[in-house]
Structure 1
């Protein structure tokens, strides 16, 4: 069974304002010393913490690691009188302090004034594909499905204590970077490497790790790294995305059209804006369709691959949950409308440390 891994970035938030607070440096040391599977690392800002699972084969294994990591990080946050925010943009506003590392200082210089407000967290899914040429084919196959996947993943509806009108404001924030959105089509692995090398010579990306496409080939591992997702409110939201991504990337029989990059980027914007209500392009026919219809079509196309991985029942259960309760953005908006900022803080405190899926 093909291995995969999940990386999640979290905010430490003030419990009253839900503004970011600088607690991550000590968190990384404390949580690393606790010896959890996977790895806790610092992120770009001192209010951010990253956790990456080990390479895993099953959703149940991943759930165990993600849930334990979130529980440990949430417990640390509570001891610091703050809340662990599994969201992609914070509700409140705070100053941005860059984490003290040589690389992050260089990235901050490159970002210039963007660095001062780059409060964004994401969820990245790695899928292991050993052959470099197969990785490129898988990346090309994934491209037109990125907007469909993003409709499931919006979890950043707020910015500066306001409702933005977007399900994924993080997607809008990421558009400020030169290598944003959908990657181009690549003929082969050599073409990919030449393209990447040229971008770095132009300083459109200071290094391979800063390449901001919604999906790319990992520079460190033999994986396709899918970066289009917001950090997810619940671990099972992240696992749903991981299961779907793995199925797409291994499905060599999945035929798609070579849609133009600007068309995919336009529908990524619509997916970030409208979520499950977005109008998108069908990757198979090229016709306009609804996100909800395309999700159903994707599940039918992927059914044999989901069954082979043992993910079919989980995916159907979690999709039923999303249809009933909405995405993370929908749930955040409902919590704010029902209970104000205290209600939103209660939702975050209740969701970061456990999964709603009955294992």
Structure 2
């Protein structure tokens, strides 16, 4: 394994999961699972409560290498899975609930979450999704805005990497990332504009707050945003990955993009939000085994070819971080075997049973 050379950007990964019962239906034990895993675990990173009591979240510490992130994600998933099993539950890495649910999940008893549920109604209670968020260090917010403009065109390609919500509500949705469609119902979700300045970014956020379309700055749900708590760009584009390896692949590609953009002095490419939104729809539909709009031409190409071009673009940054071989191997594996959505779809096609998909994702088959 190659080691980083010189200074590299640090990064971190956050993963959201469903906590389900033995059959695969949403459980209300998420809070208990998080608390028990925290008490029993000794892994680096942090475990957190989520919007509903059917979810759990894990976050790595600040990482410098992909091996470090992979070790932490495996450990955190293991802690949560063991705590879930002790309560007759399972940990499910899926972007959307696999089985149909008769009742919406309960909101976690937290003042902020309860306020969100009251203010946003069915959007908060039925847009139930689990994502993977990647934080990449940036020098300052002004630089972050400049970088954001350069990486926007690559968001569709990143969406394909961990697309993992093909089967939802007991049927094949026809999408690789159905989560992305569900999540887009939030008023602040979707692709970020091409900002002329940090002032423009802040003016939009201020207008959202005054309009009540967000309740606080934590609800800035753009697919990539300036983090409110850390000096990072936060990529929020992705489904929770089916495997830790795919989550870390997403993370190193995101880090490579940021590092490459930091060294780019050319003006950001023009890409309207209307076009980018349409491109993201296509990427969410087809995933890594289908076609994806290429950032340079806008034309559809095999997603693997677009990811190959992404690696070629970011190769110097990937190599400096010790990630180049890992990224090449990861994308080659996706091209050969498919990602989480493809594995879901193949398993569901065998018997048309959502429970079989749950077993696959929970590691029971």
The answer to whether the superposition gives a TM-score over 0.5 is yes
Cα distance in 1 for residues equivalent to 2:291 and 2:323 = 27
Q: Give the drift of 1:83.
A: 1.4
Q: What SS does structure 1 have at the residue aligned with 2:28?
A: coil
Contact 1:282 1:294 in 2 (8 A): yes
Q: Give the drift of 1:228.
A: 0.5
Cα distance in 1 for residues equivalent to 2:25 and 2:346 = 19
Change (3 A) 1:87 1:209: same
The alignment status of 1:68 with 2:81, answered yes or no, reads no
Q: What SS does structure 1 have at the residue aligned with 2:135?
A: strand
Change (3 A) 1:319 1:281: closer
The alignment status of 1:266 with 2:278, answered yes or no, reads yes
Return 109-118 or 3-12, whichever deviates more.
109-118
Partner of 1:282: 294
Cα distance in 2 for residues equivalent to 1:115 and 1:342 = 25
Matches within 5 A, 1:160-171: 160-171=169-180
The alignment status of 1:21 with 2:13, answered yes or no, reads no
Change (3 A) 1:351 1:142: farther
1:157-181 deviation line (CA, Å, top 9, x unaligned): 1221111110001111012111121
Q: Give the drift of 1:299.
A: 1.1
Q: Which runs of 5+ in 2 are unaligned?
A: 1-7
Partner of 2:145: 136
Contact 1:20 1:93 in 2 (8 A): no
Contact 1:39 1:52 in 2 (8 A): yes
Partner of 2:4: none
Cα distance in 2 for residues equivalent to 1:276 and 1:105 = 36
Q: Give the drift of 1:341.
A: 4.1
1:163-217 deviation line (CA, Å, top 9, x unaligned): 1110001111012111121101112222212221111111121111112211111
Q: What SS does structure 2 have at the residue aligned with 1:350?
A: coil
Count of residue correspondences? 351
Cα distance in 1 for residues equivalent to 2:355 and 2:98 = 12
1:302-323 deviation line (CA, Å, top 9, x unaligned): 1111000000111111112111
Aligned partner of 2:362 among 341, 349, 355: 349
Cα distance in 1 for residues equivalent to 2:17 and 2:288 = 24
Matches within 5 A, 1:1-80: 1-16=8-23, 18-34=24-40, 35-80=42-87
Matches within 5 A, 1:145-224: 145-224=154-233
Cα distance in 2 for residues equivalent to 1:277 and 1:322 = 8
Cα distance in 1 for residues equivalent to 2:298 and 2:177 = 24
Return 76-85 or 40-49, whichever deviates more.
76-85
Q: What SS does structure 2 have at the residue aligned with 1:251?
A: helix
Q: What SS does structure 1 have at the residue aligned with 2:16?
A: strand
Partner of 1:320: 332
Cα distance in 2 for residues equivalent to 1:279 and 1:300 = 18
Change (3 A) 1:85 1:310: same
Q: Give the drift of 1:276.
A: 2.6
1:138-157 deviation line (CA, Å, top 9, x unaligned): 11111111011112221011
Return 133-142 or 305-314, whichever deviates more.
133-142
1:253-300 deviation line (CA, Å, top 9, x unaligned): 456522001101001011111113554443234555442322121111
Cα distance in 2 for residues equivalent to 1:239 and 1:23 = 27
The alignment status of 1:237 with 2:246, answered yes or no, reads yes
Contact 2:162 2:242 in 1 (8 A): no
CA-based RMSD: 1.8
Aligned partner of 1:86 among 82, 93, 104: 93
TM-score by length of 1: 0.93
Cα distance in 1 for residues equivalent to 2:110 and 2:210 = 23
1:18-67 deviation line (CA, Å, top 9, x unaligned): 22111111112112223432111100000000111101100111111100
Q: Which runs of 5+ in 1 are unaligned?
A: 353-359
